[in-house]
Structures are given as C-alpha cells and as structure tokens.
Structure 1
Amino acid sequence: MQNNLIVNALAENSNENIQKFSKLVKSSKCEVSECQLRVMGQFLSAIYLFSGPWEAIAKIEDNLNKLENEENITIQKKRTDVEKIKNNYVVYAIDIIGPDETNIIFDIIDLMLTNSLVIKSMSSNSYKHSETTTNMFELHTIVYISLDSSIAGVRSEFTEFCDQFNLDIIMEPLK
C-alpha cells in the first residue's frame, strides 16, 4: 500500500541546506510525487509530496525530525491521502496580468470559489514594469472546472472582473 507525506520546509537559502535536504530524501527511498521550490528574500521554501511504503515514510519522518533539531530548518509534515479528481472536471490555466491593486489576489480567489472552481495551484508575483515603473501583478493558476458549470459563463465573469481592474486574462484548457 502506498503512503503519502506532505512536507513544507523553510530554511536559509544556501546550497548546503539544499544538499542536506536532498541527501536525507535520497536515503529514505521515498518517491517524490510533487515538488515546489521557491526562494523568497533570503529563504528557501520547499514543498514536497513523498510517496512510498510505510517503512520509507517512517524513515523520512525520523530523518526530518533529526534535521529540524540539528539545523536551523523549520519543517512541517503530515501524512495525507492523495485524491484523484473525478472525471467530471476539465483542467484550465488562468493567467492574469495588469496593474497591481492591494489584495487583488484575494478578490480573484473569491471569484474562483464563488464559481465553484477547484484551485490546483497558484503562483503570483508583483513587480515594477521596467519601462514605466508601474506596479504590476501577475498570477498563474491551474483550476478544475466542473462540467456541470458553464465554461463560457465562468470565462465571461472572469473577463468582466478583469476589465473592471484593467487586467488582461488568458483562460485556456490544459491538454
């Protein structure tokens, strides 16, 4: 039987910390089902979903406890089940870009949830445009849309919302 463990690690961004974590993972004999690494400021944030037999998951849990105690690394971990999305969904990518508005991401999340979209992944970035120095915002999201929903209706609501805030949107199915 396959067991799963989700791990969220936060450490100072250094090659040594990455190597320590990688060595620990390799020694556990777990499979990495999903992985996301991101540097923010001087910190590295790593999110992993490991899978493997019970013994391998138990070994990585023990090794993570040792690593957290010995190093300046914050680790959260939890065993989890991995659910498959049912067949009655289509997968869409939504990309939004435009002038940055305070907390606009939360308004977008509310719109997604109001339309019963299932958020699979989301990443955003704020920056100053290189030519105009305007504060800009970009968002990339993968969502599941129920086949019971009107995709044209969801697209229309998102387009109207983005027009209100002078944002560009691209919404297309993933193949």
Structure 2
Amino acid sequence: MSQETPREQQLLITVLGDDPRSMASELCRLCLEARCSISASRLSRHSQAGALVVQASGSWDALARLEGSLAPLGKRLGWQVSVLRTPVNSPRSTGLPYVVYANAAYRADILNELCQFFAVHNIELEAMTCDTYQAPHSATLLMTATLTVNLPQGIQISWLREQFLDFADSLNLDAIIEPWRPTHG
C-alpha cells in the first residue's frame, strides 16, 4: 500500500545579499504571488549585508512556482539563494525549552565551547544569536550569546545547571540557564 503525499509542503529559503529591506520585501511579494504563506522568518543585518531565512508553505505546485522564481530573482539582484524542501509535520523531540545567556570578554573559542557543551550532553539547539560590541568605557571587545535549547525529558535539571555553571566558570563566562518564557510585547 502506498503512502499518500500530504497536500501541504514546506520550502526553507535562505537569502544572503545586500539591502536586507528589499530582500524581505521581494521575498514576501514572491510568496504572495505564488500563493504560498510564510510560516516563519528570520532577518538579520551584518554590516551592509543581510541574511533572510523564510519557511514558506503551500501546495506542491505553489511551492514549485515559488522555487522557480527564486533563482532569477537572486541572479538579477546579486543574492545567494538556497532552497530546501522540508516535511510539514517532521517529528520533533519533546522536551523542555531553556534559554542560555552568556556574556564575556570576546574570545574566538567561546561560541564553539558553548555549542560543544550542549552537543556533548545531547541537548538540541533551537536558536542561537551572538553579537560583539565595544565596552562603553574601555576599548575591550565584549560578546553576548543567547541560545535556546531543548532539554530532553528525564534530564535532571539541577545536575545540568550545576554542570553548566561549572563549565561557564571554567571559561570565565557570566552565564545563566533558565526556563524559556514567552515574551508578550
């Protein structure tokens, strides 16, 4: 017996290029014209360039129209465009969402060390941001990182928190791990 293909599908689109404002505008317009809906998106600026990630959903033919229009748009505007088809209801692990905040004097190894800590403990990363900035009253370069992680069910949270704080102390990080809370703006 054959499995039926679901009508709704998803397309994960990444765009890298100049002028993040027009990136968002153009990609939203293309999705609308192709009769696709945007279910998630992230835009970030990096100097004059930007990175845009969009998760679009729709019927297979609507996504095919959208996918076909992306390469010409990217070529015309000088953007790097990547596309990946993803299942709509992919299995996700169940667990507890936690947020990690870390601040320190900038060192190139810190982000790698944070990622390694969670990989070693088999903890999934859901989101990650990292920024560097000049300290207001000195020439010191500082960094701040925020990671959203998904703690597996059954993990002893007090044990993990203790392990994480020892780890942070060993790297001289000002860091905390706490339950994720929705923000209402």
**Aligned ranges 1:20-31 → 2 under 5 Å:** 20-31=26-37
Query: Could you say which residue in structure 2 is the equivalent of 1:172?
Result: 178
Displacement of 1:79:
0.4
Query: Could you say which residue in structure 1 is the equivalent of 2:92?
Result: 85
Counterpart selection for 1:122 from 128, 136, 142:
128
- Give the Cα–Cα distance (whole angstroms) in 2 for the partners of residues 77 and 111 of structure 1: 30
* TM-score, with length taken from structure 2: 0.87
- Give the Cα–Cα distance (whole angstroms) in 2 for the partners of residues 110 and 15 of structure 1: 34
Displacement of 1:156:
1.0
- Give the Cα–Cα distance (whole angstroms) in 2 for the partners of residues 50 and 11 of structure 1: 19
Identity across aligned pairs (percent)? 20
Equivalent pairs counted in the alignment come to 174
Q: Give the letter for the 1:145 counterpart.
A: L
Query: Could you say which residue in structure 2 is the equivalent of 1:134?
Result: 140
- Give the Cα–Cα distance (whole angstroms) in 2 for the partners of residues 32 and 93 of structure 1: 25
Question: Structure 2, unaligned stretches of length 5 or more?
Answer: 1-6
Distance change in 2, residues 1:17/1:80 (3 Å): closer
Q: Once the two structures are superposed, what CA deviation does each residue of 1:53-112 show, in whole Å capped at 9, x if it has no partner?
A: 11211111011122123221110001012424233x111111111211222100110001
- Give the Cα–Cα distance (whole angstroms) in 1 for the partners of residues 71 and 157 of structure 2: 46
Query: Could you say which residue in structure 1 is the equivalent of 2:17?
Result: 11
**Aligned ranges 1:64-79 → 2 under 5 Å:** 64-79=70-85
Q: Give the letter for the 2:42 counterpart.
A: Q
Question: Structure 1, unaligned stretches of length 5 or more?
Answer: none
| CA RMSD after TM alignment | 1.6
Distance change in 2, residues 1:144/1:14 (3 Å): closer
Q: Give the letter for the 1:99 counterpart.
A: A
Counterpart selection for 1:157 from 152, 163, 171:
163
Displacement of 1:128:
1.4
- Give the Cα–Cα distance (whole angstroms) in 2 for the partners of residues 69 and 126 of structure 1: 32
- Give the Cα–Cα distance (whole angstroms) in 2 for the partners of residues 15 and 97 of structure 1: 30
In the alignment, does 2:108 pair up with 1:102? Answer: yes
* TM-score, with length taken from structure 1: 0.91
SS of residue matched to 2:154: coil
SS of residue matched to 2:115: helix
Q: Once the two structures are superposed, what CA deviation does each residue of 1:121-144 show, in whole Å capped at 9, x if it has no partner?
A: 101011111123322111111111
